[in-house]
Chains A and B, each alone.
Chain A
Amino acid sequence: MAAVDELAAVAARVAGEDAVQVGSTAVCGVVPAIVVAPESVAAVSETLRWAHGRRLAVVPTGAGTKLEWGGVPRRIDLLLSLGRLDAVVAHRHGDLTATVQAGAPLGRVNELLRREGQWLPLDPAYAARATIGGIVATNDAGPRRHRHGAPRELILGVTFVRADGAIASAGGIVVKNVAGYDLSRLLTGSFGALGVVVQATFKLSPLPPASRTVVAAGLNSGTIEGAIRAVMASQLTPSALEVQGPPFALLARFETVQEASERQAEEVAALWRGCGAADTRVLTGAAETERWTAHHDAVWGREDDVCRIGLLPDQLPGLLEEFAGLLRHHGVDGQLAGRVETGALHARIGSDAAASQSIVDRLRLRVEGGGGHVVVLRGSPALRAKVGPWGAMGDAARVMDAVKRRFDPEGILSQGRWPFAEGRA
C-alpha cells in the first residue's frame, strides 16, 4: 500500500479537496488510512473507480452505528463516508413511496415524511442516528418488523456504485415491479460487500393514529410460554410483539385507530393476566415511549457484545431459559430482546470474552439443529476470531462466494466482513 500522504493527495484530486481526511478512529482495532466523504454520487463513482484500479481496501460507512458489526475488516485503506449524501430525494406521498440518499439519518427522514402523515416504518438499533445506507447494508430491524417487515420487505429500488465505480440501478419507484433481477434485496443485508448503496426507494406507511402498549413483567418460563401461545392463537393484530429480559417481560403494541388500539390492548391484558401474568399494565403516551426506549437500550444501551439470533418461534421459551441460566452461571450481565413471532432476537452479553465465547457456543448448539443461527454482530476481535462471527452458512456459501467474485472481482469492498472471496486487493 502506498504512503498515506500520497493516497490522500490523489484522493483529494479524485473526490475533492474538502472530501479527504487523514486518520480516523479505528474500526474493530483497524485504523483506516484515509477517510473520503464525496459530495455527490459521481464523486463516489470516481473514488471507487480509482480505488478499484489501485486495489485499495474500501469500507463504506454512514453514521458508523453498525460499522463494527460482522467480520473484522482486515485492512482499511479508504473509509468511504456517505454522510454528505443525505437528501430526501422525493416523497411521493400519494403513492406512499420515498427515495432517499444513503447518508440520510432515519430520524431526519421520518421527520420529513411525518409532514404528510407518513413514515418509513423501521425501528432499527440507534434509529434516530442510523443512516439509510447502513440500515440497508445490515438489514437491521426492530420491534415493528412484526407488522412491517425488515428493510428487505420495504425496499423497492436501489442505486449503487459497483466496486469498479460504475453506477447501477435495480428495481424502481413503484411498489409492484418484477422487471429484472431484484438486486435491491441482494444488496440489503450484504454489509457493503457487493456495492456501495447511494440511494434507495422504500414503500411507506401511514402514521398510526393511536398507540397502546401492554407490558407483562416478571414472567417465569412457564407463564411466558402460555402467554405467547395465547396471543399467537388470538385474533389480535399487534404492530410489535416482543420479549425482553431476564427477568422476562412480554410487550405487545397496538398501533391503529383509537378504538381498536384500546380494545385490543384490554383484550391482550386480560389474556395475559389469565395466563398468570399478574404484573400486566397498559401504557400510553410518554410512559409508553419511555418503555420502548428502555427496550431498545436493554440491548443497545451499552458497548457490550451483541448477537443476532434467528430461530423457530417454538424454540423461543427454551432459549430464554437457557440464556438466563448461562448468564447466571457465568455471573455476567446480559439482556435479550426480540420478535416473538418472527423468531429474530438480539442478545447483549456483558463484556467478558470468555463468558461470551461459551454462551455463543451454547446458544449455537441449541438453535442450529432447528436451522437457526447465532451471529456475533458486535464483540471483541478476540471473541470474533474464536467463535467466527457468522456461524455455519452451509452449502449456500459456495454460491455467495461466486456472487461476491462477480460483483467485486478484485475483492476491494468490505474485506473481512464476510468470509467470502477476498480477491487480490
Chain B
Amino acid sequence: MNIDERFLRALRDIVGESGLIDGVADRITYESDALTHLRAVPGVVVLPVSVPQVQEVVRLCHSAGVPFVARGHGTGLSGGALPVEDGVLIVLTRLDRILDIDAPNRRMTVQPGVTNLEISRRAAPFGLYYAPDPSSQQVCSIGGNVAENSGGAHCLKYGFTVHHVLGLELVMPDGALVRLGGPVPDTPGFDLVGALVGSEGTLGIVTEVVLRLLRLPEDVRTLLAAFPSTDAAGAAVSGIIAAGIIPAAVEMMDRLTIEAAEAAVHPNFPQAEAVLIVELDGQRAEVDALFRRVESVCREAGASEVRVAADAEERARFWTGRKAAFAAMGRVSPDYYVQDGVIPRTKLSEVLRRIRALAGRSGLRIGNVFHAGDGNLHPLICYDGAVVGQAALAADVGGEILQYCVEVGGSITGEHGVGADKAAHMPKMFSEVDLDTMQRLRCAFDPSGLCNPQKIFPTPRLCGEVPGPYRAHPAERAGLAERF
C-alpha cells in the first residue's frame, strides 16, 4: 500500500514528532547514500531512539505492506541504503550507544549508529582496538559495516567485519527480535551471523553488535616505496607474499592518484609511476626480522626510493595520502566514479594493462588505488558530468572493468557491496541457480520482500509458501514476477 495519513499517524505514535521527517525538502536530504548518482526520495523518514521503536516501525510496515530501508551514516558506495520512494527510511544514527566494554574478554557491545573509529577510540584505554578500518572510518557506522562486510586497508592480515562480529541482535522483517551468535564462539546452530554480515540490510535490521577486539600491536613499521611502473610495484607485492610474509597492509597508488593526493593533502609522496605503502605489525622481534626482508624485496623489485616512517606522525602522513585518495580526485577531475572490483593478485599486471587500454579508448582518465595484497582494485574513473554522455560513459567503463575482474576469476565487489548499483552485474558472477539459492535465504528471513527491496538481486522473486501446496501470488498471476 502507499503511505497515507493513517500510516503516518501510526508512525508518529511510535517515534514521536521529533523522530519523523515527512516534509519534502527534508526528505530530499536522504535521497542517496555516498553513491550520489542513484537517488530516490523516501516516502517518510523515521529516526528511532530505541530498539522497541525500530521493532514497532518494522511491525507497522510489515502489517501495512510498506517497504522499508535501514540507513546508518550514509557512507555506502553501492546504493545499499538507497531509499524506496513509497517506503520508510529507518535512520539508525540515534542508536549510537556503546552498551558494554568487556576488556578481560576483549568484547564490545554497541548499537548500530556508533562510528567505526569510535569503537577503537573507546577500546584504546584498555590497549585494545577494532581491526576493520574502512577509509571512511571516522564517519561510517558499524551497522553499515555489518551490512556491507566492510574491509579496509588492514584486512589482508586481520580479515573483514565478518571475522570480528561475534553476535547480533536483529529485528526481523516481521518485527520480531532475535539474537544470533553471541559473545562466545561456536553458538549451536547455523552460522546466521556469518550469513547476516554482508547481506546489505536485506535480511533484517541489526540493532546490536557484539564485536571482538584485538590487542594493539607492540610494534608497527611502515614504509613507502616508489616504483618506475605499477608492474614493478606488483612484482614487489608478489615477492613479499612469496617470502612468506603477510603484512598488515599493502596499498598501491598509481601516478594519477598520487598527483591527486599531493594536490589535496600534501603527503609529500615521491614522483613515481607507482607507490606502495607496506605496513607490518606485531611482536617486535618478528616485525624487525620481516621488515628488513620487505625493504630488500622492494629494492630488488626496482624501487627507486624506500622511505621508512620514522615515527607515528610520518606513518599518519603516509596513510593520509592513501585514505584521501578518493576524495582527492575532486582536485583533478570535476566528477569521478569509484569502482570496486577484485582480481586474483597475480593478475594485476594483465588487468591494469586492460584498464589502461580502456582509458585510452574511452578518453576518460582512470586513476588506480588498490589494496594490492588482496587484489582489491579501486579504479577512479574521471569524467565531467557537465559534458553530455560522460556520466553514462563512466558507468559503462566501470562495468567493463568489472567484466575484466570476473574474466580472471575475481569479483564485482570486494568491500563496497552490490547494493542497487551492481545488481545488474550479479549474473556476471553467478548462475540463475546460484542466485535462486541465495534468494532462498532471503525468503527464510523476509518472505514478503519488504526489507531493503531491489538490492543485490537483478530480478525480484516471490518466495511462496514452503512447504505446502503451490499458490500463485497475485503479482505472479498478473505476469509481473516469476517464481522459483
Residues on A lying within 8 angstroms of B by beta carbon are 92, 94-97, 117, 139, 149-150, 152-153, 162, 166-170, 172-183, 185-186, 188-190, 193-194, 205-209, 235-237, 256-257, 259-260, 263-264, 308, 310-314, 342-344, 367, 370-373, 375, 390-391, 393-400, 402-407, 409-410, 418, 423-424
User: Which residues of chain B have C-beta atoms less than 8 A from A390's C-beta?
Assistant: 188-189
**7 interchain pairs (CB within 8 A)?**
A176-B411, A185-B191, A263-B285, A308-B186, A313-B105, A370-B183, A407-B440
In the complex, the 6 A-B pairs of residues with the closest C-beta atoms, listed nearest first: A185-B194, A206-B244, A235-B218, A260-B286, A94-B346, A177-B411
Majority-rule SS of A interface residues: loop
Give the docked Cα–Cα distance between A397 and B215 (Å): 33
B209 CB → nearest A CB, Å: 15
Enumerate chain B residues within 8 angstroms of A172, measured Cβ to Cβ: 342, 409-411, 429
Contacts of B197 in A (CB 8 A): 182
What residues of chain A lie closer than 8 Å to B159, measured between beta carbons? 149, 153
Residues of A within 8 A of B386 (CB): none
- Once the chains bind, are A403 and B444 in contact (CB under 8 Å)? yes
* Alpha-carbon separation in the docked complex, A219 to B159 (Å): 35
Q: Which residues of A contact B344 (CB under 8 A)?
A: 92, 94-95, 97, 173-174
| Chain B positions 296-349 with a Cβ under 8 Å from a chain A Cβ | 342-346
What CA separation (Å) do A179 and B412 show in the bound complex?
Answer: 7
Instruction: Check if A186 sits within 8 Å of B412, measured CB to CB.
Output: no
- B residues 111-169 touching A (CB-CB < 8 Å): 148-149, 151, 155-156, 159-160, 162-163
Bound-state CA distance A194–B195 (Å) is: 13
- Residues of B near A257 (CB, < 8 A) are 286, 289-290
- The winner among A183, A372, A399, A424 for most chain B CB atoms within 10 A is A399
B-chain residues with CB within 8 Å of residue A313 when the two chains form the complex? 104-106
B246–A394 contact, CB under 8 A?
A: no
If the complex has contacts A174-B375, A176-B374, A177-B411, are A344 and B434 also in contact, measured as CB distance less than 8 A? no
How far apart sit A236 and B433, CA to CA, in the bound complex (Å)? 47
Add 11 more A-B contacts to A185-B194, A373-B187 (CB < 8 A): A92-B344, A117-B244, A168-B433, A169-B430, A170-B434, A181-B442, A186-B195, A259-B285, A344-B185, A402-B444, A418-B189
> In the complex, which of the residues A162, A174, A311, A423 contacts B184, with contact meaning CB atoms closer than 8 Å?
A311
- A259-B289 contact in complex given A172-B410, A174-B409, C-beta closer than 8 Å: yes
Q: Which of B148, B163, B187, B444 contacts A399 (CB 8 A)?
A: B444
Per a CB cutoff under 8 Å, which of A117, A149, A186, A205 touches B191?
A186
Report how far A403 CA is from B282 CA in the complex, Å. Answer: 40
Q: Taking A176-B411, A206-B244 as contacts, is the C-beta distance between A95 and B192 under 8 angstroms? A: no
B426: which A residues are within 8 A, CB to CB?
Answer: 179-180
B354 at the interface (CB under 8 A from A): no
Most buried by B among A117, A168, A367, A393: A168
Q: Which of B8-16, B43-51, B171-179, B258-266 contacts A (4 or more CB under 8 A)?
A: B171-179
In the complex, A311 Cα to B187 Cα: how many Å?
10
Residue of A186, A395, A403, A424 near B467 (CB, 8 A) is A424
Within 8 A of A (CB), among B410-464: 410-418, 422, 426, 429-431, 433-438, 440-445, 456
Q: Which residues of A contact B413 (CB under 8 A)?
A: 177-179
Which chain B residues border A367 with CB–CB below 8 Å?
A: 184
Check B186–A310 contact: CB distance below 8 A. yes
- Give chain A residues whose Cβ lies under 8 Å from the Cβ of B245: 206
Are the CB atoms of B285 and A409 closer together than 8 Å? Answer: no
B283 contacts A260, CB within 8 Å?
yes
CA distance A172 to B413 in the complex (A): 11
Would A175 and B283 count as touching, CB distance under 8 A?
Answer: no
Q: Which chain B residues lie closer than 8 Å to A205 at the CB level? A: 246
Is the CB–CB distance between A180 and B429 below 8 Å? yes
Q: With A and B bound together, what is the CA distance between A37 and B104 in angstroms? A: 49
Please tell me if B241 contacts chain A, counting CB pairs below 8 Å. yes
Q: Given that A342-B185, A395-B179, A399-B180 are known contacts, is A174 also in contact with B433, CB under 8 Å in the complex?
A: no
Nearest CB of B to A196, in Å: 13
Contact bitstring B359-396, A, C-beta under 8 A = 1, else 0: 00000000000010011100000000000000000000
Give the CA-CA distance A95 to B237 in the complex, in Å: 11
Which chain B residues lie closer than 8 Å to A308 at the CB level?
186
Query: Looking at A152, A182, A342, which has the most chain B CB atoms within 10 Å of its CB?
Result: A182
A186 and B441 contacting across the interface, CB-CB below 8 Å:
yes
> Complex formed: what's the CA distance from A97 to B343 in Å?
12
Q: How far is the CB of B327 from chain A (nearest CB, A)?
A: 22
B375 shortest CB reach to chain A, Å: 6
